[in-house]
Amino acid sequence: MDLPGFLMWAEPPAGNRSEWKRQWFGHELSPGSVFNVRGIGLNEPLFNPDVHRPYGTGDWLIMLFQMPPRLDRQRVEPSHGPMTLVIWPPGAEQFYSWGEQPNREPHSWMHVEGTWVATLFETLDLPINQPLPLPDESIMNSGLTLLLEEMRLGMKADPVILQNIFENWARRIRRQLQSRGSDVTIQKGLLRVRRRLDSDYRAIPPLDELAALANLSRSRLCHRFRECFGSSISEYVIRKRMAAAQRMLFEVSLRPGEIAEALGYTDIYQFSKQFKKTFGVSPTAFRKQQHILDS
């Protein structure tokens, strides 16, 4: 695990309510990390309406909305009930907004990254990228509180303790979902397909191969994949590539051409075009922007 080297902000701005907390432990992603806690928020009010990130944040964002949130861009009223949990994976589209009152409706969240996170969620078979009912708020906030306390130890923070806290949190989430007889469990076949795509997103496997892996017809696979993971198979692969590209651009020793090749693009111009379509700037311009922000 990569321990925090700096803080962006630690306490709520002056004048805000004392019962909510937030802390950010760094904004640079760490490709290849096993487990890293990047940021935590507890009962923070939703200040910004219509937060929309088409390709996510490059890490796992886990968020509990204590009040009814709006998670559907096509609706103007709340789309889900209170105590709704969402686990957004790296590269997944994120949209959320307060349901009725800005600056008041609380939400708790954490940004984490690392190869171990995906393995843990797959092992526990937790539903990813879809709203889940979680009526017991203490499960979320107790885990976040323990993570926050350990992370605030700085260089004394113990990576094993942090992983244990996170795993215990995830297992308690799964137990509550199972006890409620949740109907959002993803089929094992679809998880195998996603695992296949995650293992090597440099090329999209033939659809027949993926359908056989899921034990579904081609059309049923496409329908169920979009229903469970919020995108088509090709969109999912592109998101994975672009999330990886975003992380790799922080490594200044890698040239854009090398990144394109590592992600399966035979043509650097095709890679640059897709990156600009995703983030609004070229890979080179993105890297320059990050250098300015870091300096």
* Mean pLDDT value across residues 44-51: 87
pLDDT at 239: 83
- Report if pTM > 0.75: no
> Tokens representing 221?
């696979």
Higher pLDDT, 36 or 181: 36
Question: Each residue of 158-214: pLDDT tens digit?
Answer: 999 999 999 999 999 988 877 654 444 567 888 889 888 888 888 889 999 999 999
Q: How many Å apart are CA 181 and CA 145, to the nearest integer? A: 27
Strand, coil or helix: 9 = coil
Q: Over the stretch 74-128, which tens digit does the pLDDT of each residue have?
A: 888 899 899 999 999 988 889 999 888 888 889 999 999 988 998 898 888 888 8
- Please report the pLDDT score of residue 184 as a whole number: 45
Answer with the residue of higher pLDDT: 6 or 240. 240
What span, in angstroms and rounded, lies between the C-alpha atoms of 115 and 181? 29
Q: What is the pLDDT of residue 249?
A: 85
- pLDDT tens per residue across span 216-245: 999 999 988 887 777 789 988 888 888 888
Distance from C-alpha of 32 to C-alpha of 263, rounded to nearest angstrom: 15
Quote the pLDDT of residue 294. Answer: 45
Residues 87, 127 contacting (CB under 8 angstroms):
yes
pLDDT, tens digit, for every residue of 256-292? 999 999 999 989 999 999 998 887 889 988 887 765 4
Spatial contact of 173 and 134, defined as CB atoms under 8 Å apart: yes
In DSSP notation, 39-57 reads: EEEEEEE--SSSEEETT--
Rounded Cα gap, residues 182 and 131, in angstroms: 11
Weakest-pLDDT range from 12-16, 42-46, 70-74, 143-147: 12-16
Say if residues 7 and 25 touch (Cβ distance below 8 Å).
Answer: yes
What is the pLDDT confidence band of residue 65, given thresholds at 50, 70 and 90? Answer: very high
**Contact present, 131 and 84 (Cβ < 8 Å):** yes
